[in-house]
Amino acid sequence: MVDSKSILKQYWGYEEFREPQQQIIDTVLQRKDTIALLPTGGGKSICYQIPAIMLPGKTIVISPLIALMQDQVDNLFRRGIIAKSLHSNLNYKEIDVILDNFIDGNLKLLYISPERIESNSFLAKIGYAKVNLIAVDESHCISQWGYDFRPAYFNIPKLKALFPDATMMALTATATPKVLSDIIEKLNLQAPQVFKKSFVRENLGLTVIYGADKRTELLSLLKGVRGSCIIYVRNRRETLEISSWLEHHDLRSVAYHGGMPKEIREKNQIAWMNNSVNIIVCTNAFGMGIDKPDVRLVVHLDVPPSIEEYFQEVGRAGRDGQKALGVALIENGDIEAATLNLERQFPSLELIASIYDRLCRYCKVAYGSGFMETFDFNAQAFSEHISVPYLKVFYVINILEKEGWLTTSEAYKEPSRLMVTTNTEELEELNRTPSLKSKIIIYLLRKYEGLFLDFVKIDETKIAEDLRIEETKLTQYLFQLQAQGLIGYLPRNAKPQITFTRERPQIEYFSIDKNAYNQRKKMAEDRLKAMIKYFKNEKACRQKMVVNYFEEASENCGMCDVCLGSGLVSASSEEVKKITEHLYQTLQRRPIHIKSYIGMYPYHFRKRVMYVLKKLESERGVLVDEFGTLSLPA
């Protein structure tokens, strides 16, 4: 019989497993429920992919993102392993072919989203397959106390009921003890074997530069690092702005965010993976399933909502075991923005009840009816109809979905997008001869911001209403404008829809579990507070702070800015001597501004440099003018 190491060598080219991959695989092969809690880059995927190859039956993998599923399928294909994923971009015939091959053919590994389990037709058909293993990736999503709760994960026990003899496996990179307990309970794992790898990253130096000039610091960081870099931002537009700005400073980079057309995302990702460019500027949509070993630097320009998410992102640095850096450039405005964003995500219970009631009336759902009824739903039109800002409506619908009152379609989550791809001269030429096409272009430019920068979400129904034309006619003209090279147009797959999953109660009987909701809100606040505390910390070892969030850590890392002395405000006599000599050599060439001079030193050393500068100024060993420029005394 072929053993797991032979499979590893044959398909992955490795001689040995990483700790504790071998033990995890052996446990799964012994048909025991298993939890693999491994940090980002710890090699979780192999832990279910190798058993999937070795077990006689089939394996189902539940994964939260289409992009993540497709990355895994593509990686396996390159290794000569057949795997497929079911996603919303496939038609019914394509899905049937894949399922037939999974049931009766040679397809052994099938990736699905948790939402797929809601389909009765899927469950009816998949039940004919002989499934030995069900692997739940990103399993922390099943916990209401986790940072990325996905209510659709509650569907997973339906699969277990369908295949009671199948081994269950849960995988995650980030789970606190409370979340881990929730995973065991909600997935109904039977006496699971839990494998945890320490979160300590001995090769990763963490630094927080607080309140500095972000862009100046970013340039300095990037010019001092050889190898691949990831820059995380929280805003799609920022990815393009920062990438363009870096290009302007002769640093080759690409942007990546979830709203980009798939072809552009893939092109930019491949360019970065192949080292055609060193820098990728991205939102948190980037990174899932990406295994690039030589990332030397990960930069955060905004505040992530939790230490779980932060450590997952920063953990993409140094997977090859070589030294790497994780640097956060943070200012007070970033913390204020993160706090405000959190408040928006948890609107008042009164607002939730009010919007639910108005939503039922908008869809003409009578009291006592509505169960599993589906309606075309234009969220923008609804928000205007009830005079509530769209973002508030979005967050309320998100909560109603998590609380099990309704579900939304993929088209709701991913509406149509449009970008102007021509220049202003060509648009002026088009407008010289007024037509419906020119009228559409003028409307788009007035209604939507940023069309020249990136693909922007649009609402064809609203546009058609405002222009007083049929929506089908508008769509035809948009395709014509695209054919002329004036715009890029990515229509949604279908009309956005909303499905009510409960009968509509009288308003006084509508309820959300107030205690659970407030507890979930408090936990989100606590996660953000922990993140802010980490960023503002000047005394404790940064890696120890992060690791202590998940498990007990005993030793300082010796590599973060705090361990290296960023909090020290005085310098030793030897340090004073070296800084003074370097300063005089610098000033003999030319005067220099204080900020520019201090910026020549690593961040952890800068307070000591400032100490020396103040000492020299007080002793008249150096002059500082009213503009902060340093010079030598005459």
Same domain, 146 and 113: yes
Residue that has been written with the tokens 């077990």 in this structure: 55
pLDDT digits (tens, 9 = 90+) for 151-202: 788 889 999 999 999 999 999 987 778 888 999 999 999 999 999 888 888 8
Burial of 461 (0-12, 13-18, 19+ CB in 10 A): middle
- The span from the CA of 449 to the CA of 182, in Å, is 43
For 529-560, b where at least 16 C-beta lie within 10 A, e where not — what string? ebbbebbebeebbbbbbbbebbeebeeebebb
The pLDDT value recorded for residue 422 is 83
pLDDT digits (tens, 9 = 90+) for 47-64: 999 999 999 999 999 988
Q: Is residue 456 part of a domain?
A: yes
- Identify the domain boundary among 180, 196, 212: 196
Count of other CB atoms within 10 angstroms of residue 429 = 11
Same domain, 134 and 274: no
Q: Is residue 565 part of a domain?
A: no
pLDDT digits (tens, 9 = 90+) for 458-468: 888 889 989 99
Could you tell me whether strands 373-376 and 228-232 are parallel, antiparallel, or unpaired per DSSP bridges? unpaired
Count of other CB atoms within 10 angstroms of residue 245 = 15
Cβ proximity of 45 and 72 under 8 Å? yes
Cβ proximity of 46 and 13 under 8 Å? no
Percent of the chain whose predicted confidence (pLDDT) is above 70: 97
Same domain, 110 and 240: no
Structure tokens at 527: 């996660």
Q: Is residue 329 part of a domain?
A: yes
Same domain, 120 and 44: yes
- The span from the CA of 438 to the CA of 622, in Å, is 65
Structure tokens at 338: 């993160």
DSSP structure class, residue 154 = G
Could you tell me whether strands 83-85 and 109-112 are parallel, antiparallel, or unpaired per DSSP bridges? parallel
- The span from the CA of 131 to the CA of 71, in Å, is 23
- The span from the CA of 610 to the CA of 570, in Å, is 9
406: CATH:
1.10.10.10
8: CATH:
3.40.50.300
Per the model's pLDDT, the better-predicted residue between 334 and 40 turns out to be 334
pLDDT digits (tens, 9 = 90+) for 201-254: 889 999 999 877 899 999 989 988 888 999 999 888 899 999 999 999 999 999
Residue 417's DSSP bridge partners are: 457, 490
- The span from the CA of 231 to the CA of 329, in Å, is 10
pLDDT digits (tens, 9 = 90+) for 348-369: 999 999 999 999 999 999 999 9
- The span from the CA of 436 to the CA of 478, in Å, is 11
The pLDDT value recorded for residue 365 is 95
Residue that has been written with the tokens 């504790």 in this structure: 20
The pLDDT value recorded for residue 67 is 67
Distance of CA 283 to the CA centre of its chain: 6
Cβ proximity of 299 and 329 under 8 Å? yes
The Cα angle at residue 565 between residues 561 and 566, in degrees rounded to 5: 60
Backbone angles phi, psi at 362, to 5 degrees: -60, -40
Residue 600 is part of which domain span? 573-631
Closest CA to 241 of 455, 453, 488: 453
Q: Is residue 527 part of a domain?
A: no
Same domain, 505 and 365: yes
Same domain, 78 and 176: yes
pLDDT digits (tens, 9 = 90+) for 591-612: 999 988 998 898 899 999 999 9
Same domain, 385 and 509: yes
Same domain, 258 and 301: yes
Q: Is the peptide bond before 496 cis (omega within 30 degrees of 0)?
A: no
Structure tokens at 275: 């080292």
pLDDT digits (tens, 9 = 90+) for 256-286: 987 777 788 888 988 999 999 999 999 987 7
Could you tell me whether strands 629-631 and 623-624 are parallel, antiparallel, or unpaired per DSSP bridges? antiparallel
pLDDT greater than 70 at residue 526: yes
Cβ proximity of 489 and 416 under 8 Å? yes
- The span from the CA of 451 to the CA of 537, in Å, is 40
The pLDDT value recorded for residue 88 is 66
Count the domains in the chain.
5
pLDDT greater than 60 at residue 1: no
Same domain, 374 and 291: no
Same domain, 214 and 315: yes
- The span from the CA of 325 to the CA of 175, in Å, is 23
Same domain, 64 and 181: yes
Q: Is residue 592 part of a domain?
A: yes
Residue that has been written with the tokens 């398909």 in this structure: 11
Percent of the chain whose predicted confidence (pLDDT) is above 90: 55
Same domain, 475 and 328: no
Beta strand residue intervals within 81-156, DSSP E:
83-85, 109-112, 131-136
Cβ proximity of 122 and 116 under 8 Å? yes
Q: Is residue 566 part of a domain?
A: no
DSSP secondary structure, 162-225, as one string: HSTTSEEEEEES---HHHHHHHHHHTT-SS-EEEE-----TTEEEEEEESS-HHHHHHHHHHT-
Burial of 373 (0-12, 13-18, 19+ CB in 10 A): middle
Cβ proximity of 587 and 613 under 8 Å? no
SS3 label, residue 101: helix
Structure tokens at 287: 């990174």
Residue 233's DSSP bridge partners are: none
Cβ proximity of 482 and 437 under 8 Å? no
- Work out the average pLDDT over 337-341: 93
Q: Is residue 561 part of a domain?
A: no
SS3 label, residue 513: coil
Cβ proximity of 325 and 298 under 8 Å? yes
Query: Which residues have CB under 8 Å from 618's CB, separation 6+?
Result: none
Per the model's pLDDT, the better-predicted residue between 494 and 155 turns out to be 155
SS3 label, residue 138: coil
Q: Is residue 130 part of a domain?
A: yes
